[in-house]
Amino acid sequence: MRVLIVDDEELTRRGLRALLSLEPDIDVVGEGADGAEVVPLVLSLRPDVVLMDVRMPVMDGIAATIALRDAELRETAPHQDAPGLPRVVVVTTFENDEYVYDALRAGADGFLLKRAPAERIAAALRLVVSGDTLLFPEAVRRLALARPAAVETVPEGTLTARELDVLRLMACGLSNQDIGARLYVTVETVKTHVGNVLAKLRATNRTQAVVMAYESGLVEPGRPASLMP
């Protein structure tokens, strides 16, 4: 796994590099000191994951995430799973940081706390790279709960009933395999439904789709997502 670390604090960058370098399957391929450096570094280093500070003085992690998802970069990598468009995990000091939720809305795949132990950071990066599970679903739900009331960002009827089922189980943090077992369908069928959900919502990834679901009221942030009414 190729990882790019972006943080305006050199001490933080060094600490993350030292911790991740102990993992045999993780290669820290570069560092950046500001969000403005992210796109050029991604295009030159081709990381699988960008581990990015959410608060930086010139360009923050939100703007940097948006820059990574723009149309010009998508010409190089038209789909998230294609080479060139890495996963994005933002790093923050406080779990309830409003910047984190905005970064998730912008297309970040998940977030981590700076104080998290090394093994948890490494495990989270592996999970994000796998691409079929939501990172820390309860934390995403709590962030959504702290936001204003739901708004109609997804028109009614956009998703089929089965796609709604899949989206709600995605919000629970279930993997494709677990969703398939829950709905009695194959993993390939689940992947098709997930792809349709992302395409219809114009979401970059599962996390962004779930955030949109909370904001639209498709999934209620006040309680764990469920197929039950």
pLDDT of 159-216, one tens digit each? 999 999 999 999 999 999 999 999 999 999 999 999 999 999 999 899 999 999 988 8
Average pLDDT value for residue range 124-151: 83
What residues have CB less than 8 Å from 83, skipping those under 6 apart? 46, 77
Task: Give mean pLDDT, residues 89-110.
Answer: 86
- Which DSSP helix (H) or strand (E) runs through 161? helix 161-171
Higher pLDDT, 20 or 222: 20
Mean pLDDT of 67-92: 66
Same structural domain for residues 172 and 201?
yes
Residue 157: is its pLDDT beyond 90?
no
The CATH number of whichever domain residue 209 belongs to comes to 3.40.50.2300
- End residue of a domain, out of 107, 131, 155: 131
Choice between 46 and 73, residue whose per-residue pLDDT is larger: 46
Q: Same structural domain for residues 228 and 124? A: no
Average pLDDT over residues 56-70: 90
Rounded Cα distance between 25 and 130, Å, is 14
Q: Report whether pLDDT(156) > 90.
A: no
DSSP for residue 50: E
**How would residue 227 be classed by pLDDT, with cut points 50, 70 and 90?**
very low
| Residue ending a domain, choose from 131, 160, 195 | 131
What is the per-residue burial (b if ≥16 Cβ within 10 Å, else e) of 117-156?
eeeebbebbebbbeebbbbbbebbbebbeebeebeeebee
* Token code pair at residue 154: 């997804």
* CA-based nearest residue to 86, from 100, 99, 76: 76
